Structure 1
Amino acid sequence: MNFSPLEVYSEIGPLEKVLLHRPGPELEKLTPEMLERLLFDDIPFLRVARREHDEFAGVLSRSGVEVCYLEQLMAESLIDSRVRQRFLEHFLDEAGIVNLSRREMLLDFLQDFDDLELIKTLMAGVRKEEIAGLKNRSLADMVEADHPFLLEPMPNLYFTRDPFAVIGSGISLNRMKFATRNRETIFAEYIFNFHPDFRELDIPRWYSRYEESTLEGGDLLVLNEEVLAAGISERSSPEAIEKFSRRVLKYERFTTVLAFKIPARRAFMHLDTVFTMVDHDIFTIHAEIEGPLQVYSLRIAEDDELRISEERAELEEILKNYLDLEEIKLIRCADGDPINGRREQWNDGSNTLAVAPGKVVVYSRNYVTNRLLKESGVEVEVIPSSELSRGRGGPRCMTMPLIRENIESCR
C-alpha cells in the first residue's frame, strides 16, 4: 500500500493541516422560504460571516496550521476535460436536473468558466435569470416559474466536518441525511479520486457516499489511537455506525468504537455539538445528555466478528476505562445552568476545536463556557461569531483536519 498523506489518530494532537470553505455567495441566495429545506434557521450576513471566517483561518495559521480550501482542492482535481465533464454530469444528476433542455443550457452556461470559477458557481447555485433565453423555454420552466433557481445554493458548505472524515490514515466518505447536503460529498469523492496529491495513493475508505444508511462527520471523534467515538443521532444511524466500525476496526489500529446514543433533536444535531475533547483528560459536554446517555462498545473479537455490548457504568467511568485515565474532567456547557446552558448549547458552546492539547478555538458569544474552560487551565482562542453561528455549527464543525501530530509526542 502506498503511503497515505492523511493522519488523524487524535482529537487533540497538534493540528498540522486542515480543510476549510470560506463562506461564499451561496449564503446570500438563501430566502426565508428555503431555510428549513436547506437546514438553516436564519440568513447570515455574508460580509460579516466572511470577516469572521477569515479571522478563524488567521487564528489557525498563527497556530502553525496549514489551511487549505475546499474550492481550491476541487478545482485542482479537474485534471483534464474528461474529468471535468464527468464531474459536471455527475453534479447535475445529483442536483436533479433531468430536463434535457435545462441540462444543455446549464452545460453551455458553465463551459466557459475556468475550473475555480466553475466550482464557486456550482457551490453558489445558478439563478434562472443568469441564463439568457431560459424564460418559458419548456413546460417545466413555465410550471416552476416562481422558483428562482436552476441549481440551488449549497449554504452548509462552510461546515466541512460533515461530508467526509479523516479517520486514521483513511477517510469516511459519508452518506448525508438530507439530499441538499449529500451533494457536498461529491467534492470529496473527486478530490480523493483525481487530485494530484491523492489520485495515485491507495487511501483506505471506511464508508461510501453510496451506502443506504446515513453517517456524518460531526458524529465521529478520534479519542486516541485505539478508541473512536460515534454518535447515534438525528443524522447518523446505528446501521451506518456498525458498518463503519467493522471496516475501520478490521483494517486500522483502532480497537474500540464507543457509540453514544444522543437525542434526535435539532439542538443536538451531532455528537460534537454536545461532546468534544479538549485535552488528554478534559471534555466539554452538554449537561442535558448525561442522564439519558446510552453508550455501546463495538470491538472485533478473535473470530473476526463484531461484538457489541452496552456499557453499564457512568460516562466518566467509561471514559477513564477506555482511555486509561485515572481521572477526567467534564466541563458542562455554561455549567449546566438551565438558561445559560441551553442558550450556549444552541450557539455551539460545547463545539470546541482543539489545535493542540489544552488549546482550543471557541465562539466569543459562549462567554460562560469559555470562562469555565479558562478556569480549568485550557488556553482559549476566541473568534467572533455573530454570523457564523447562525448556521448552527461551531469551530469543530467548520474544520476537517487532514493531519494531526502524533499525540504521544505531546505527553
Structure 2
Amino acid sequence: MNEILKIGSEIGRLRKVLLHRPGKEIENLVPEYLGKLLFDDIPYLEAARLEHDGFADILTQNGVEVLYLEDLLVESLESEEKRYEFLKTFIRESAITSKNLTEKLIEYLMDMSLFSMLQKVMSGIRKDEIKISKISSLTEITNKNYPFYIDPLPNLYFTRDPGSIIGNGISINSMHTSARNREPLFLKWIFNNHPIYKTDKIPHWYKGDAPFSIEGGDILVLSDKIVAIGCSERTSAEAIEIIAQRLFKNQSGFEKVLVFEIPSCRAFMHLDTVFTMVDYDKFTIHPGIEGPLNVYEITQGKADILNFEVHHDDLSKILSKALNIPGIELIRCGGGDAIVSGREQWSDGSNTLAIAPGVVVTYNRNYVTNDILTKKGVKVLTMPSAELSRGRGGPRCMSMPLYRENI
C-alpha cells in the first residue's frame, strides 16, 4: 500500500491538503454570466485572497502541509512537449473546435512563462486579448457578443469537488455542470505526470472520463470501512455504483458504501453542504436532512455482484448503526432556529473541515453554530469569510485532503 495518499476518515489528524488560492478568474465574473458560472455574487478578489491566506495559515499552524494546485501543475509540465499537449487537451475540453482559433490560442499561451500560462487558462481568455483576423467557424460568428474565448474557472478554489482521496486511491471526478467540467483535467494531468503522484501504486477509483457525474462534495469517508456518498443533483447513481465496484474489487479495505438520497436543489447541493463529521460521535447538520430519509447500503456479494439494502430511518440511527457508536449526536446548524439556520446554512454553517477529532475550521460569520459547537466540546478555529462565502462553499469545499493519520 502506498503512503503517498491516505484518507481513512473525515476526522483523522490532517497532515497534507491541496488548495487553490483564488486568482484572476474571480475578476472575470460579471453579472450577465453569474448563473452560467454557478455564482450568486462577485467576491472582491484582494479580500478573498487575504481570507484564503488566513485559511492556509490556520492549517499550517496546526501541522498541515499545504500544497497548491498550480505548483503541482508546474512540476507536472516540465517539458515544452507536455505543455503543448496539456494546452491542446484543455482547449478541446473548452469546447473550441476551430482549428484556426486553437492554433492562435496555443501560440498566445506558449509565449508565456509556465506559471503565467496556468494562471491564464484558469482565469479565462477574453476576446479582446487576441486579434483573430480570419473567422473560420460559424460558432465564432454566432457568439460574437460573448466576451470570452475560454471561460474563467471561478469555482476552482473549491478543490474538494474535482477529486477525492478514498483510502489510498483517488477518484478523479466528472463534474455535473459545463462551468466546471475542465477542473478535473488539472488533477488528471498531475496524477499522470507529476514525479511523486504518477505511480501505479495509486489506484484510480474513478477516472473522470465516464459519462456519469460525481463530485467530491458528495463523498465522505466515515471510517476505513465505510464511505458515504450523496446521490444528489450533481452525483449520479451510476457513478456511485462504479466506485463501489472498484473499491470492493481492488481490496481497498472498504466494506460498505452508504448512499444518501438527497433532494436535487441548490440548498442541498452536495452531501457536505448539509452534513459533516466533527468528532467521533458528532456531526453538524442542516436540520432539513434529519429524516426520516432513504439510505441505500451497498456491500460486496459473490462473484463481483453488489448487494443492495434499503434503509428508511432517522439520520442519527443510520449513522449509529453504521459506525457502531451509540448516541451519535447531530448538531443542528443555527441550533435549529428557522431564521438563524436559514441564514447560516446559506453561508455553509454545516460545511466544516475537521483537522483532528473534535477540531474544526469554520467560517467566522456562522457565529451561532460556532458557539453551539464550542459548547458541545468541539474546538472551533474560525476564518474570515465575507468574500469567500459568496461562492457558496465552506472550508470543507475549499480543501482536498491528501493525507490523514489513522484514528
Shorter-normalised TM range: over 0.9
Q: How do 1:56-75 and structure 2 match up within 5 A?
A: 56-75=55-74
- What amino acid maps onto 2:396 in structure 1? R
Q: How do 1:128-139 and structure 2 match up within 5 A?
A: 128-131=127-130, 133-134=131-132, 137=135
Residue 295 (1) aligns with residue 308 (2)? no
- What amino acid maps onto 2:320 in structure 1? K
Question: TM-score scaled to structure 2, two decimals?
Answer: 0.97
- What amino acid maps onto 1:243 in structure 2? I
2:240 aligned residue: 241
Asked whether the equivalents of residues 21 and 71 of structure 1 are also in contact (C-alpha less than 8 Å), the reply is yes
Asked whether the equivalents of residues 293 and 312 of structure 2 are also in contact (C-alpha less than 8 Å), the reply is no
1:367 aligned residue: 367
Residue 168 (1) aligns with residue 167 (2)? yes
Asked whether the equivalents of residues 166 and 172 of structure 1 are also in contact (C-alpha less than 8 Å), the reply is yes
2:321 aligned residue: 321
1:190 aligned residue: 189
SS at match of 1:311: strand
Instruction: Please provide the CA RMSD for this pair.
Output: 1.4
Mapped partners of 1:280, 1:148: distance in 2: 49
Aligned length: 405
Residue 265 (1) aligns with residue 270 (2)? no
Question: TM-score scaled to structure 1, two decimals?
Answer: 0.96
**Alpha-carbon shift at residue 143 of structure 1 (Å):** 4.1
Mapped partners of 2:142, 2:329: distance in 1: 59
- What amino acid maps onto 1:317 in structure 2? K
Give ranges in structure 2 of 5+ residues lacking alignment: none
SS at match of 1:259: strand
Mapped partners of 2:133, 2:352: distance in 1: 47
Mapped partners of 1:300, 1:327: distance in 2: 28
CA offsets 1:296-351 (integer angstroms, 9 cap, x no match): 11100244321111114432222111111122110011111111111111110000
2:32 aligned residue: 33
32-41 or 393-402: bigger deviation: 32-41
- What amino acid maps onto 1:286 in structure 2? H
- What amino acid maps onto 2:287 in structure 1? A
SS at match of 2:67: strand
Structure 1 residue runs of 4 or more that deviate by more than 3 Å after TM superposition: 135-143
Give ranges in structure 1 of 5+ residues lacking alignment: none
1:159 aligned residue: 158
- What amino acid maps onto 2:110 in structure 1? Q
Mapped partners of 1:205, 1:111: distance in 2: 31
Q: How do 1:32-181 and structure 2 match up within 5 A?
A: 32-131=31-130, 133-134=131-132, 137=135, 140=138, 141-181=140-180
- What amino acid maps onto 1:385 in structure 2? S
**Alpha-carbon shift at residue 135 of structure 1 (Å):** 6.0
- What amino acid maps onto 2:13 in structure 1? P
2:2 aligned residue: 3
SS at match of 2:338: coil
Mapped partners of 2:32, 2:226: distance in 1: 42
Q: How do 1:345-384 and structure 2 match up within 5 A?
A: 345-384=345-384
Asked whether the equivalents of residues 4 and 202 of structure 1 are also in contact (C-alpha less than 8 Å), the reply is no
Change (3 A) 1:58 1:105: same
Mapped partners of 1:272, 1:312: distance in 2: 20
Asked whether the equivalents of residues 4 and 201 of structure 1 are also in contact (C-alpha less than 8 Å), the reply is no
Q: How do 1:333-352 and structure 2 match up within 5 A?
A: 333-352=333-352
